[in-house]
């Protein structure tokens, strides 16, 4: 979540099972067909649920129909 007034972003700390670490990241969630009518509704719900934030003006960061996959159960770090 980006606050355009204060020019700050909201990050959450959560446990990532794949790498067994607590990491900072953006609020994220899954679009559930039986619970959310579209991705904007899902995004608002997740932000409210995980960060206790709501309202404001929403701006799409990707093209319509494009999502950025994130999976906290997959190891994404590079190990030498």
Q: pLDDT for 17-75, tens place per residue?
A: 877 888 888 887 777 888 888 888 888 888 888 888 888 888 777 787 777 766 666 65
Tokens for 69, please give them: 């996959």
pTM of the model: 0.62
Is the confidence at residue 4, as pLDDT, over 70? yes
pLDDT band of 76, cuts 50, 70, 90 = low
pLDDT: which is higher, 49 or 79: 49
Name the residue among 11, 60, 10, 55 with its Cα closest to residue 38: 60
């Amino acid at each position: 979540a980006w606050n355009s007034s204060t020019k700050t972003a909201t990050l959450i700390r959560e446990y990532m099972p794949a790498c067994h670490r607590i990491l900072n990241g953006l609020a994220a969630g899954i679009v559930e067909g039986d619970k959310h009518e579209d991705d904007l509704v899902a995004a608002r719900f997740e932000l409210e649920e995980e960060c206790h934030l709501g309202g404001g003006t929403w701006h799409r960061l990707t093209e319509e129909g494009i999502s950025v996959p994130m999976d906290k159960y997959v190891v994404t770090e590079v190990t030498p």
